[in-house]
Amino acid sequence: MSAREDVFHVVFICTGNRFRSILAEHRLRQATSSLPVHVSSLGTLDDPGLPALADAVELGAAAGFDLAGHRSRTLLGEDLRAVDLVVGFERNHVASAVVESGAPREKTFGAYELAELLARIEPPGDLPVVERAREAVSRAHAARAAAERPFRELDDPVGRGRSFAAETARLVGDQTARIAFGLFGARPPAS
């Protein structure tokens, strides 16, 4: 995955690329639609081409985006060395991005971890949006190194029922909104 210097590149990673990562991708895309931000998503499973889960399509529609045409993409074979930020939902998502796809550790976080770190750091000053976001990621990494915390995962909703899926979608949305605000000062539209 190549990155342009004038665009901030974010990749969300979950297991199948059929629920959590695609909801986060579209939420962040909504929040940053007028900014030079490119958002994508991948899954750790080698199972490309599958549609979004029915709950994701339904919950996405309620949030204002259409996931009906989504097809899963795999992390395997992707080169993430040039992206600005990689966000996973479980420890193994973060590890896979770093080990298998070369994502720089200092730019790879769990969703809860990044949202919490961005809330604790001093926001970057008056910088152009891409530089501001890159500086925020750098500061978040420095804050992480200064105070390691247990990794908090956002569990996969597959096979756990509709209410669990709805709660997972809500949590994905909350964490993504916090990330958007911490990086760009952006807020997603109300859903």
What residue segments make up the domains of the chain, in order of their start? 8-181
Q: Domain 8-181 has what CATH class?
A: alpha beta
List, for residues 79-131, the tens digit of each pLDDT value: 999 999 999 999 999 999 999 999 999 999 999 999 999 999 988 888 999 99
Provide the b/e sequence for 147-177 (b: ≥16 CB within 10 Å).
Answer: eeeeeebbebbeeeeeeebeebbebbbebbb
List, for residues 31-84, the tens digit of each pLDDT value: 999 999 999 999 999 989 999 999 999 999 998 899 999 999 999 999 999 999
How many Å apart are CA 18 and CA 15, to the nearest integer?
8
Quick one: 77 exposed, middle or buried, by C-beta within 10 A (0-12, 13-18, 19+)?
A: exposed
How many Å apart are CA 179 and CA 117, to the nearest integer?
9
